[in-house]
Amino acid sequence: MAENIKVGYIRVSSKDQNEARQVEKMKELGIDERYIFIDKESGKDFEREQYKTMYNLLREGDVVYITSLDRLGRNYKETAEQWEKITKEKKAHIVVLDMDILDTRGAEGLTGTFVTDLVVRILSYVAEKERENIRMRQMEGIALAKARGVYKGRKPIEIDKQAFEAVYAEVVRGDRTNKSAMRKLGLKPNTYYKAVKEYKTKTGRWGV
């Protein structure tokens, strides 16, 4: 019978690329680097390649370490579903590093399992409600600012004009695609094409 393994799962959003500290923490726990899985996306569902790879790897008795409960899901329903899939279907353990009570290795018997599952559902629900409350307060704040005539919206993204013109010139010449230009400039499609439109209007060069 194969020996049980320790697995670390890390999820960071596109805005927070600093996973080094979390990786180091996993290594300190004795987790082999081969079994540390990192997803760098902010998707709202579980179409995450590294998560799926980790899940498919799990066997009964393995231990999954996560830094916090919200790494499992973006909302109450997803978190509870993934917790149940790992602990019930795979029969693996989960250890939540920032909350000692969420360690299924010590949840023996029906009562222990019930208490742990209940805590997960309560915490997931509370976390989702807090996110909803934050969004609601933001919307109320924006509505109030608009009513007062002081809402200015998001600060426009500043684009290096020289860099943009140099890269876009390559697009016009056929040396680079628009997609490649976006990556080079670090711009999202809506920002990039807005800059293209402004550039064409300003210069009268309609090119690509």
Token pair 């934050």: residue = 134
pLDDT at 72 over 80: yes
Q: What is the mean pLDDT of the chain?
A: 81
Q: Is 68 an annotated catalytic residue? A: no
Instruction: Name every residue whose Cβ is closer than 8 Å to that of residue 33 and which is 6 or more positions away in sequence.
Output: 23, 27
Q: Kindly tell me if the per-residue pLDDT of 177 is higher than 50.
A: yes
pTM of the model: 0.57
Q: Give residue limits of the domains in the chain.
A: 6-126, 161-203
Tokens of 177: 């695609």
In this prediction, residues 189-193 reach a mean pLDDT of 88
Q: Is the pLDDT of residue 109 over 50?
A: yes
Confidence of residue 184 (pLDDT cuts 50, 70, 90): confident
Measured CA to CA in angstroms, residue 203 lies from 6, 68, 128 at distances of 59, 52, 49
Q: Which of 13, 68, 124, 180 is catalytic?
A: 13
Lowest mean pLDDT among 34-48, 90-104, 109-123: 109-123
Average pLDDT over residues 106-134: 70
Please give the average per-residue pLDDT across 5-17, as a whole number.
Answer: 81
Position 63 pLDDT exceeds 80: yes
* Mean pLDDT of the region 162-185: 88
Do 151 and 172 form a contact (C-beta atoms < 8 A)?
no
pLDDT confidence of residue 43:
47
Q: Which two tokens stand for residue 151?
A: 């809402």
Q: Which DSSP state fits 96?
A: E
- CATH number belonging to domain 6-126: 3.40.50.1390
Residue 186 pLDDT exceeds 70: yes
Please, where are the H alpha helices in 34-174?
A: 49-57, 76-84, 109-148, 161-173
Q: What would the pLDDT profile of 17-57 be if each residue is shown by its tens digit? A: 578 888 999 999 999 999 999 988 654 555 688 999 999 99
Complete DSSP assignment for 4-41:
P-EEEEEE--TT----HHHHHHHHHTT--GGGEEEE--
Burial of 203 (C-beta count, 10 Å sphere; 0-12/13-18/19+): exposed
CA distances from 2 to 51, 59, 92, 94 (A): 22, 9, 14, 19
Interval 123-137: pLDDT, tens: 777 777 777 777 888
Question: pLDDT above 90 covers what percent of the chain?
Answer: 24
